[in-house]
Amino acid sequence: MRTITLIPGDGIGVEVTNSVKRVVEATNVEIYWEIIDAGEKAFGATGEYMPQKLIDSIYKNKIAFKGPLTTPIGEGFRSINVALRKEFNTYANIRPVKNMPNIKTPFNNVDLVIIRENSEGLYTGIEHVVTHGVTEAIKVITRDASLKIAKHAFEYARFHNRKKVTAVHKANIMKITDGLFLESVREIASDYDDIEYEEIIVDNMAMQLVMYPEKYDVLVMPNLYGDIISDLAAGLVGGLGLIPSGNIGDDIAIFEAVHGSAPLIAGKNMANPIACILSSAMMLDYMNEKPAGDLIRKAVFTVLKEGKCLTNDIGGNASTDEITDAICNAIKKYI
């Protein structure tokens, strides 16, 4: 039995992570969940947003699953999520974006993966006041981190039988920083003759995605661009409530839904758990339990296709528990 650190999160976090526990249990993969709070709930109990107990648990267990956390405004961490990524050097953020049955959208044939460098860029948080009315932020791009994320992107493409990797950049303006990123990706691309490689400027990428999303496969990019482009891509297929995510390091991984904690509907049994459930499928893949991960994805797609049990945000009136029940029943049927 594998022990995994579970961070329920704030707002709807407890509800959607409870759905994850139920769905994973339905696959018959045995997991012991070591539950530890972070965020607002942890601060209320311990005075810390990211308690040492949590850090120790993740270092010990090597895999964590987290619900949405509320980031404090104007105090503490710039972002608890960023703090977790820095602490455990989960340098690669992976977000698969794909059309799903019965989700109305003007975009068809979307099936792409965004691979975002997670450790540097403007997200290092190095900023200061130069003088009154003048501030400065420092964008850090290193060769080592760029080579690492590029290799991750090409290895991901090869393992998942993807045909093309697109590097997203702004090297026409930021010739030194984004220039180094591109130079590094090109170096890695030269070792993968079986995978098509192209480059595109980030503003053009935003336009191309809302015109011809079907043209793209694996996208690799620095931190800030990845943050923006991945949310844009989520909008193509129905929003953040459907998008899974994993933060991958050398030997530690943290899986999460990328949506917020939605405090206005917390405790009302209304939240859509699909993003969290699909993130748990990514976690099972990482654990070498891919058949179970595939089973979850198949069950989710079955429930969406049937259209009888959908939450309010995707056109139905089912509760969190009801859609979770439906997915669990589909899993048991396929088993």
- Decide if 123 is catalytic: yes
Q: Active site residue: 144, 191, 203, 251, which one? A: 203
Relative to beta strand 218-221, strand 127-131 is unpaired
Q: Active site residue: 41, 170, 217, 313, which one? A: 170
Q: Active site residue: 91, 123, 197, 216, which one? A: 123
- Decide if 203 is catalytic: yes
What is the torsional sign of CA 321, 327, 329, 332? negative
- Decide if 227 is catalytic: yes
Helices 202-209 and 223-236, axial angle in degrees (round to 10): 10
d(CA 270, CA 219): 33
102 dihedral zone (left: phi>0; alpha: psi -120 to 50; beta): left
Contacting residues for 169 by C-beta, under 8 A, at least 6 apart: 178, 181, 182, 199, 200, 201, 202, 221, 222, 225
d(CA 109, CA 213): 8
Residues taking part in catalysis:
123, 170, 203, 227
